[in-house]
């Protein structure tokens, strides 16, 4: 009777996988990884906080099992590629992290913390997050992953530059100790984990601009090496991984040449020469030095043009490892060895469907393609179709595979009534201000859901029976991209969608409220660099009862990094004219009562600086130009020209407390009085923040009607600048209107209407 061997599923979800096989160089890399039994867990706060050049050094040079734990999914960040904010942006940034991990070979984990926006202190971050719950999440990941060492990206103090950054270090250091304590979170043990103590925890110090936390007394290692097997340096791989964070504008040049990373000891055994000092990272840790020798023999015998020649030896290696006592490393190495066997033997398995969306009780046909592209003795024994990890079809096959001959199977079935809709697991329950609510402990830490459908294949290679699970994906052929794979989405049998998210209605209106059928609706987010993302939310229309007056009828809009300003303008009753570069000419702008520039647009488009004379002429003739926030004073390598008078933008100047007191410095200014009267109440119930990147070095000709500050900071008047120019007006608005308007804040709508309606100058 054959011994049954199960391949453990990867923590990286199937949605990011494209079908294909490892080439000979990648197989050789896998063989070298088998020699090493060491692991590193890297911890920080957000997607794109990880050290992208260091991770591939760990995975591909040192060949450690490496993972990045991001406490949040980046939900509160800004979006340079679209209009998604909040949980939608978190979905995008989750996939961008997974895309980065596909480049550098590390794994990806998350806690259930929600990124509620920029935070200036760890105290605030840990107060809004559930400190103990986030600590529990990190302890859980440590106990599951069992890292030999833990590395934080940030210190636990102000040098971190962001409250979330500092909090991630504080949590990591607490978790380092708590994970080893059997009295901490003992409820986790019933799920199979045990206390785990890493050898040490280190801080990966940095030199970011004006903040240099490195020094020669710290442990340092050279990480700028070149990997000839891959044909890239670790800096080059890191740049490719970093560039996956496209929503954050994190494209980076490929880094080449020698450079060092520095580390400061935080807790545990002190390392003087190397981060993994004192850790046994070979098979001696499993009392199996003979396996180490066998792997070295296989590597020596490997022929790059005949990878299948080592499969028999790998099968024997798998059998020998399987006789070892059960352990974390045994399971990991069995997984790695089986994956290498599959790659070296040329076994290709693909499960697809031509339907991207299904509903319970609908019919679905799945095509399975198997091709053995070598002359090895391989046969298919059994295939099961799984729905939500439960077998619903079972087929005995007993088919011997022939070299490079396709074996195709089709499975038609009715989607079970009990099939769960494709809701990201962290969105199943309503979140709090700072936390997602995940009730299933086994899901905590996972990057995303398991696929709704998969096939479980039993196959035999060289006399050994293996089992592996493959996701079922939607596949189609694009005329420009070729084969495209996307996740399958399970929709509810019935759903509804609102016409508009926010509807303004006068308080005196006798009109009936908009009618819609209650239920849920789904939204799909699509970008070329990530798999399509679908999520569900309660269908709702937010009716904002507010009386708003306005001047003018037609407003031009210049798109920026993505906001919902056009929708807000339409709610105010304006006709919106989308403006492109070719439209920025005096004749075309004539007749527009105001022009609104999208967030960060001046940082994205050099032509806006080049067109400043045209925009100045527009204002001189009576138009109002409203520029939403800039992130810096540059577009590429050039200085920005914005507005008729000098100002600079400081990316560190912002008011993150959404309830910060707002003082009216110029209470009689038209923006606070015409055509709507603005009071302190209009700044109630703002979301996430008051203002982003405020202006500094402000020319005396600007008027600054508002003043605000975060607790303990010097008051600033850089959130709103207005300057009359000719017959018109210019306004720089770092107030977070782009967040308040989609949230349906009535005071924000009134203030926005006043900006658009600034009176003409004589």
- Residue 526 to residues 486, 500, 532: CA-CA distances in angstroms? 10, 20, 5
> Residue 154 has what DSSP assignment?
S
From 242, 240, 12, select the one nearest 109 (Cα to Cα): 12
Over residues 174-192, the mean pLDDT reads 98
Question: Is the pLDDT confidence value at 435 over 70?
Answer: yes
Q: What pLDDT was estimated at residue 510? A: 67
Where do the structural domains in the chain lie, given as residue ranges?
38-281, 502-542, 548-756
Helix axes 24-33, 289-301, angle to 10 degrees: 160
Sign of the alpha-carbon dihedral angle for 175, 178, 180, 185: negative
Q: CA 545 to CA 550: how far, in whole Å?
A: 16
The Cα diameter of the chain in Å comes to: 96
Mean pLDDT, the chain, rounded, equals 92
Q: For the segment 695-714, what is each residue's pLDDT rounded down to a tens digit? A: 999 999 999 999 999 999 99
Residue bearing tokens 């920005």: 640
Q: CA 93 to CA 108: how far, in whole Å?
A: 12
Question: Is the pLDDT confidence value at 401 over 50?
Answer: yes
- Are 733 and 695 a contacting pair, CB within 8 Å? no
- Are 675 and 696 a contacting pair, CB within 8 Å? no
Q: CA 138 to CA 144: how far, in whole Å?
A: 10
Greater confidence (466 vs 520) lies with 466
- Are 7 and 467 a contacting pair, CB within 8 Å? yes
Question: Is the pLDDT confidence value at 175 over 60?
Answer: yes
> pLDDT exceeding 70 applies to what percent of the chain?
96
Q: What pLDDT was estimated at residue 474? A: 97
The count of other CB atoms within 10 Å of the CB of residue 674 is 16
The CATH number of domain 548-756 is 3.40.50.880: yes
Q: For the segment 46-98, what is each residue's pLDDT rounded down to a tens digit? A: 999 999 999 999 999 999 999 999 999 999 988 989 989 999 999 999 999 99
Confidence of residue 12 (pLDDT cuts 50, 70, 90): very low
Number of H helices, E strands in the chain: 17, 38
| Helix H or strand E segment including 469 | strand 464-478
Q: For the segment 135-170, what is each residue's pLDDT rounded down to a tens digit? A: 999 999 999 999 999 999 999 999 998 999 999 999
Percent of the chain that is helix, strand, coil (3-state, to 5): 25, 25, 45
Give the CATH H-level superfamily of domain 38-281: LmbE-like (3.40.50.10320)
Confidence of residue 20 (pLDDT cuts 50, 70, 90): low
Q: For the segment 501-556, what is each residue's pLDDT rounded down to a tens digit? A: 788 888 877 666 666 566 789 999 999 999 999 999 887 778 888 999 999 999 99
Q: CA 162 to CA 121: how far, in whole Å?
A: 7
Question: Is the pLDDT confidence value at 179 over 90?
Answer: yes
Over residues 30-40, the mean pLDDT reads 97
Locate 159 and state its tokens.
Answer: 């040098």
Over residues 91-111, the mean pLDDT reads 97
The count of other CB atoms within 10 Å of the CB of residue 412 is 9
Q: What pLDDT was estimated at residue 136? A: 98
Over residues 648-674, the mean pLDDT reads 93
Question: Is the pLDDT confidence value at 1 over 70?
Answer: no
Q: What pLDDT was estimated at residue 537? A: 86
> pLDDT exceeding 90 applies to what percent of the chain?
85
Question: Is the pLDDT confidence value at 17 over 70?
Answer: no
The count of other CB atoms within 10 Å of the CB of residue 692 is 28
Locate 748 and state its tokens.
Answer: 């924000």
Q: What pLDDT was estimated at residue 516? A: 59
Over residues 263-269, the mean pLDDT reads 98
Buried b (16+ CB within 10 A) or exposed e, 160-183: bbbbbbbbbbbbbbbbbebbbeee
Q: For the segment 290-346, what is each residue's pLDDT rounded down to a tens digit? A: 999 999 999 999 999 999 999 999 999 999 999 999 999 999 999 999 999 999 999
Cβ neighbors of 418 (< 8 A, separation 6 or more) are: 360, 388
Residue 209, sorted as left (phi over 0), alpha (psi -120 to 50) or beta, turns out to be left
Q: What pLDDT was estimated at residue 545? A: 86
Angle at 654 between CA 648 and CA 655, to 5 degrees: 145
């Amino acid at each position: 009777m054959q011994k049954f061997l199960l391949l453990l599923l990867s923590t990286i979800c199937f949605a990011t996988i494209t079908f294909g096989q490892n080439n000979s160089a990648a197989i050789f890399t896998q063989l070298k990884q088998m020699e090493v039994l060491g692991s590193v867990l890297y911890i920080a706060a957000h997607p794109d906080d990880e050290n992208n050049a260091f991770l591939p050094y760990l995975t591909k040079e040192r060949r450690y099992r490496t993972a990045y734990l991001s406490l949040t999914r980046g939900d509160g960040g800004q979006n340079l590629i679209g209009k998604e904010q909040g949980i939608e942006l978190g979905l995008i940034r989750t996939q961008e992290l997974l895309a980065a991990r596909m480049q550098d070979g590390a794994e990806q984990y998350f806690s259930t913390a929600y990124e509620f926006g920029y935070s200036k202190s760890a105290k605030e971050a840990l107060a809004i997050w559930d400190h103990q719950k986030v600590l529990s999440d990190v302890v859980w990941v440590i106990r599951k992953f069992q890292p030999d060492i833990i590395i934080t990206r940030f210190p636990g103090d102000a040098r971190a530059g962001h409250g979330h950054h500092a909090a991630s270090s504080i949590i990591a250091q607490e978790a380092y100790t708590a994970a080893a304590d059997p009295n901490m979170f003992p409820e986790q043990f019933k799920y199979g984990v045990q206390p785990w103590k890493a050898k040490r925890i280190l801080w990966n110090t940095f030199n970011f601009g004006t903040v240099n936390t490195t020094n020669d007394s710290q442990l340092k290692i050279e990480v700028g090496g070149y990997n000839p097997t891959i044909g890239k340096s670790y800096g080059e791989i890191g740049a490719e991984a970093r560039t996956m964070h496209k929503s954050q504008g994190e494209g980076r040049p490929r880094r080449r040449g020698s450079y060092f990373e520095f580390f400061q000891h935080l807790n545990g055994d002190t390392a003087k020469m190397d981060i993994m000092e004192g850790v046994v990272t070979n098979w001696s840790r499993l009392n199996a030095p003979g396996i180490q020798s066998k792997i070295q023999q296989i590597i020596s015998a490997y022929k790059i043009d005949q990878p299948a020649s080592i499969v028999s030896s790998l099968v024997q290696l798998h059998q020998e490892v399987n006789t070892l006592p059960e352990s974390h490393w045994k399971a990991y190495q069995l997984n790695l060895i089986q994956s290498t066997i599959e790659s070296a033997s040329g076994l290709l398995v693909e499960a697809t469907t031509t339907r991207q969306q299904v509903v319970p009780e609908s019919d679905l046909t799945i095509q399975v393609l198997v091709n053995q592209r070598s002359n090895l003795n391989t046969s298919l024994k059994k295939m099961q179709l799984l729905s939500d990890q439960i077998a619903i079809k079972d087929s005995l096959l007993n088919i011997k595979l022939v070299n490079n001959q396709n074996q195709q199977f089709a499975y038609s079935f009715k989607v079970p009534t009990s099939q769960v809709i494709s809701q990201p697991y962290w969105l199943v329950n309503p979140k709090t201000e700072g936390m997602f609510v995940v009730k299933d402990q086994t899901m905590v830490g996972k990057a995303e859901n398991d696929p709704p459908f998969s096939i479980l294949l039993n196959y035999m290679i060289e006399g050994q029976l293996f089992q592996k699970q493959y996701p079922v994906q939607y596949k189609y052929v694009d005329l420009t991209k070729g084969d495209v794979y996307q996740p399958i989405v399970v929709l509810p049998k019935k759903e509804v969608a609102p016409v508009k998210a926010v509807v303004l209605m006068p308080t005196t209106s006798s009109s009936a409220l908009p009618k819609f059928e209650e239920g849920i609706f789904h939204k799909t987010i699509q970008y070329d660099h990530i798999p399509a993302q679908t999520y569900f939310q309660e269908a709702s229309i937010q009716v904002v009862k507010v009386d708003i007056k306005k001047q003018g009828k037609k407003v031009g809009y210049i798109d920026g990094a993505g906001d919902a300003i056009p929708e807000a303008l339409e709610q105010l009753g304006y006709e919106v004219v989308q403006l492109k570069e070719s439209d920025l000419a005096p004749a075309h702008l004539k007749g527009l009562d105001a022009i609104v520039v999208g967030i960060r647009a001046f940082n994205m488009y050099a032509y806006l600086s080049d067109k400043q004379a045209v925009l100045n002429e527009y204002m001189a003739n009576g138009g109002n130009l409203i520029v939403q926030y800039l992130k810096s004073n540059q577009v590429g390598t050039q200085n920005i020209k914005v507005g008729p008078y000098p100002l600079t933008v400081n990316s560190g100047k912002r008011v993150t407390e959404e309830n910060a007191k707002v003082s009216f410095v110029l209470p009689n200014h038209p923006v606070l009085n015409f055509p709507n009267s603005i009071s302190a109440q209009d700044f109630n119930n703002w979301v996430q923040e008051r203002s982003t990147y405020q202006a500094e070095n402000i020319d005396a000709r600007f008027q600054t009607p508002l003043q605000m500050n975060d607790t303990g900071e010097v008051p600033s008047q850089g959130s709103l600048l207005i300057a009359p120019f000719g017959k018109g007006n210019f306004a720089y608005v770092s107030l977070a209107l782009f967040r308040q308007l989609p949230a349906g804040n009535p005071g924000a709508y009134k203030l926005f209407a006043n900006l658009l309606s600034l009176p003409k100058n004589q």
